[in-house]
Structure 1
C-alpha cells in the first residue's frame, strides 16, 4: 500500500485547496465597546451557485484509529465547505486539487487542533479524521436542491504516515 506523509497545516501549504481558519495573522479589531476582539473575514464562503444558500451545522466526528487508511475522497462541486473545531484536539486533513481526481496530487496535513479549514469549491477531501476522542465541529457549507457531493474510491488506498504521539497532544 502506498503511504501519504502528513505535514503541518499552514496557510501557505493549504492555499491551493482553500483557507486555513486561524487567528494568527488574521485582520482583527475591537468591537462592542472594546469588550470583544473580532477576527475578520477568515474564509471565503462560496455557496450561492445555482441558488444555493449557506448552512450552519454541527458535526460530531468519531475518532479514527491509527494508522488511517484513505480509500475514498469526496468533493462539493457547487460550494465551499468550512470546518471549525470546537475543541483543541488535533485532527487530520487529506485533500487533492479541484478538477479530475488525481491520487498523485493528494496531500495530508495535521492541524494544531484550533485551526479550521475551508475547502474551496470542488476541492477533493477526505471526510473528517478526528483523533483521540469524539470531536465537534461547526460546519458552514451549501444547501440547495441540486446534488452537491461526488465521491471517488481509490484504486489503491493510501496509508497516512502520522506520528501517533501527535494524535493526543492538545
Structure 2
C-alpha cells in the first residue's frame, strides 16, 4: 500500500517548470552534536540507542496518573530507501507503511522508468513529527544520508528546515516534536535500522497546499 501523511493527489502534482509550484532551497549543514542541538542527537550504536517516549498530554485539570500515558513501548524494524528512476520511495517495516518521499526531477513529470539526470538534490512536499516519541535511524554499511529537520512548533514554515548531512559513521535520534522526513540516502539504495514509538502518532505539514512550494533538499 502506498500512503502519505500529507494528503496529496500524486496523479496531478503541480509543475515547477510551469510555475504552478515554486522551489524553496533548504540550507545544508554538517550534523554534529552541536548543530543537532534542539533537533536530536548522535547515536553511536543502534543497540545502545534509547527512544525518548513522551507522556500523553494532560487534557484537563486532572493529572495523568504516574506511569501511564507512555506505555505503548518501542518497535524496531528496517527502514528502506529505494530510488526508482526519478522517484524516491521509502518502506517503513516497523509500522507497515510505504511512502513516496521525493523526486529527482520536476514532480509533475518525474518517471520511475527514467534515470535521473541530477541526484545532487531532491524535491519533497511534506514533513511530519511524532508528539508521542522520538525516532532513531542508524545506517547499515555506514551509508551517508541527509536528515531534513525543523524544530518543534505547529507554525513551521519552509524557512525553518535544515538539511543535516550525516557521513554514515553514526545514527541519529530525532527528538519528539521535531519535524522530519524519512532520512534521504546519498546512494541509490540504503537500509537503516529504525526504532520508534509503537503508537506512532503523526502531525503533518503539506508544503504544496500551505506554501505553494516544494522543498529542494541538497544531497551532494
Q: TM-score range by the shorter chain?
A: 0.7 to 0.9
CA distances 1:1-45 after superposition (whole Å, capped 9, x unpaired): 22113211111001111111137xxxxxxxxxxxxxxx996x552
2:17 is aligned to none
2:74 is aligned to 54
Whichever structure has more strand as a proportion of its residues is: 1
Q: Looking at CA atoms only, which structure, 1 or 2, has the larger radius of gyration? A: 2
SS state at 1:87 partner: helix
Shift in Å at residue 81 of structure 1? Answer: 0.5
1:11 is aligned to 33
Tell me, which stretches of 5 or more residues in structure 1 are unaligned?
A: 24-38, 164-170
The answer to whether the 8 A contact 1:48-1:54 is kept is no
For the aligned residue pairs, the C-alpha RMSD in angstroms reads 2.2
User: How many Å separate the matches in 2 of 1:60 and 1:71?
Assistant: 19
The answer to whether the 8 A contact 1:74-1:127 is kept is no
TM superposition score normalised by structure 1:
0.76
User: How many Å separate the matches in 1 of 2:54 and 2:36?
Assistant: 23
Q: Which has the higher contact order (CA 8 A, sep 6+)?
A: 1
1:83 is aligned to 137
Shift in Å at residue 128 of structure 1? Answer: 2.5
Is the aligned partner of 1:45 residue 2:51? yes
Q: Which segments of structure 1 move beyond 6 Å, counting only runs of 4 or more?
A: none
Tell me, which stretches of 5 or more residues in structure 2 are unaligned?
A: 1-22, 56-68, 89-103, 105-118
Is the aligned partner of 1:69 residue 2:123? yes
1:157 is aligned to 214
CA distances 1:52-99 after superposition (whole Å, capped 9, x unpaired): 201111111114442201211011110011111112221111000112
TM superposition score normalised by structure 2:
0.60
